[in-house]
Amino acid sequence: MGEQGNEWKGMSVKQKLSKIFDNITVEPILACYILPNVIASLATANMNLEKACRVNLNYSQDICDRISVRNITGIEREEEEIQSLVVRMNYWQSILRSSLPALLIMFLGSFSDRTGRRKPFMLLPMSGEFMTSVGLILCTYFFYEWPMEVAGVIEGLFPALTGSWSTMFMAVFSYMGDVTTLEMRTVRLGVVSMFISLALPAGTLVSGVLYQAIGFYGVFATVAVMYVLGMTYGAFRLKEARTPTPLSGPVCGEFFNPKHVKETFRVAFKSREGNLRTRILLVMVLSVTIFGPIYGEQSVGYLFVRRRFKWDEVDFSLYSTYTTIVNLIGTALGISLLTHKLKMEDSMLGAVAYASKVVAAFFYAFASTSFSFYIVTLIEILGGTGMIAMRSIASKLVPSEELGKINSLFGVCEAVVPVLYQPLYSFVYYQTLSTFPGAFFIVGAIMTIPSVLIFLYLYYLQKVDPIGTVEPIPTSEKPKGQYNETFEAMEM
């Protein structure tokens, strides 16, 4: 590693940039998955609101046009009725979108570990989102013929059948575990997470503007093209980290063998050295308490700011971009300063991150102006580091051949929590819509407190029994994929 560092220091800026680009692996796939997802999200939310008003409730054009521009004086009841209809659809849509991925991911992780195949499970979710985009183009064409529920089924069904976000992140983080050494994993996962964070503001920055400029057709056609570009890159440019193992039988038989589901859960429950099993189980619980509030707030956040601050698509895009940039800065500071320079434990980093989120949630709930809502974001500037800390902890508790399974368990948790949290948040928002719309933030704060406590307990367990983290990959056993030596040399 010292030789790599000396080599890196002797390079010109052009050579360094060339080296970095040569070592890019999953980042373009993530960009072509996350970016169109974010760009389409506002258009999709507005389609549901527009269809609820114009098709399902059959309100007049004047009422729907006024609601579209947030001029709701005198028609507050109609606005509540529209939002209530959309919120009720969120109940069953979250179940549809989450239940199938939760089932699939239990087979995917084990299959990925046994065969060494990560790439297909990055491409599969992208194909589902592409089909969703095509379906939403049809929903636009048949705008007055198809009610809101048809769009809701299309939004949920295709991603559900192809694994959705949980499958994408299972494959990506398993791949990153294959191509990084133990000591560099937190930093490298931080780089990937920062790349994700860059895709988010890029998407949110243009989503509202793009929707107002080119409408439903333009947005859904644009994101469909982006998914095709991502699948093309993944199919022809990305290399598997390990040589795939030949299948011993038919694909369906190998994939859906129930014994492999047992193997996946065995990763969490089997006996291990020291307190490793306890720590793995705690991380599984932690994934629920982390993912839950995220999905819950996403389900009603746009509706909340429309009502509380009278924001339109551009206002929401600008705010989302601002919050993501703040979190990106916080993540960069957290990873470079707290983790790399000060050597702060992952668990303590996570505790700090989620403690800040608890405090911020109370301020969000009572924010009365757009300016105060913006300022509160600074309180949770380190919030983005918590997810990185959790992923890093999990990757260090199991050997490389179990990374797919452990990330599958994360995927199960990530797929299941929307079924629990999104209906809860939607119910709270629905019940408090006319009295205290920000009440769901208080619910989120209460449900985030366990994350802080679990991180602190993981810190304690690591101190009293530091046995059992997996060893770094020896040089002679480095994977055959695109091993990211560049990022390790940069740290020298």
Give residue 285's pLDDT.
93
Other residues' Cβ atoms within 10 Å of the Cβ of residue 88: 15
Q: In angstroms, rounded to a whole number, what is the distance separating the alpha carbons of residues 270 and 277?
A: 7
Q: What whole-number distance in Å separates Cα of residue 437 and Cα of residue 73?
A: 18
Query: What tens digit of pLDDT does each residue of 164-216 get?
Result: 888 898 888 888 877 766 666 666 676 777 677 677 777 877 888 899 899 99
Cβ–Cβ < 8 Å for 160, 99: yes
Q: One digit per residue, pLDDT tens: the chain, 492 residues?
A: 455 445 556 667 777 667 666 667 788 898 899 999 989 998 999 999 999 999 999 999 999 999 888 888 888 899 999 999 998 898 888 888 888 888 888 787 778 877 778 888 999 999 999 999 999 999 999 999 999 999 999 999 999 999 888 889 888 888 887 776 666 666 667 677 767 767 777 787 788 889 989 999 999 999 999 999 999 999 988 887 777 777 777 777 777 778 777 877 887 888 888 888 899 999 999 999 998 998 899 889 988 998 899 898 789 888 988 888 898 888 888 888 887 788 888 999 999 999 999 999 999 999 999 999 999 999 999 988 888 889 888 878 887 777 777 777 877 777 778 878 988 998 899 899 889 999 999 999 999 999 999 999 999 998 887 655 554 444 334 444 443 433 333 333
**Helix (H) and strand (E) counts for the chain?**
19, 0
DSSP assignment of 109-168: HHHHHHHT--THHHHHHHHHHHHHHHHHHHHHHTTTTS-HHHHHHHHHHHHHHTTHHHHH
CB-CB contact of 80 with 207 (8 Å)? no
CA torsion through residues 384, 194, 204, 130, sign: negative
Whole-angstrom CA distances from 418 to 93, 218, 303, 380, 430 are 10, 29, 17, 23, 17
- pLDDT tens-digit map of 431-484: 998 899 999 999 999 999 999 999 999 999 988 876 555 544 443 344 444 434
Q: Under 8 Å CB-to-CB from 397, ≥6 apart: which residues? A: 276, 279, 280, 283, 406, 468, 469, 470
Q: What is the pLDDT of residue 409?
A: 80
Tens-place pLDDT, residues 258-290: 877 787 788 788 888 888 889 999 999 999 999
- H-helix or E-strand spanning residue 336: none
Domain coordinates of the chain in residue numbers?
Answer: 27-241+252-467
d(CA 67, CA 329): 36
Residue range 27-241+252-467 in CATH 1.20.1250.20: yes
C-alpha 387/C-alpha 255 separation (Å) is 29
Using an 8 Å Cβ cutoff, are 235 and 33 in contact? Answer: no
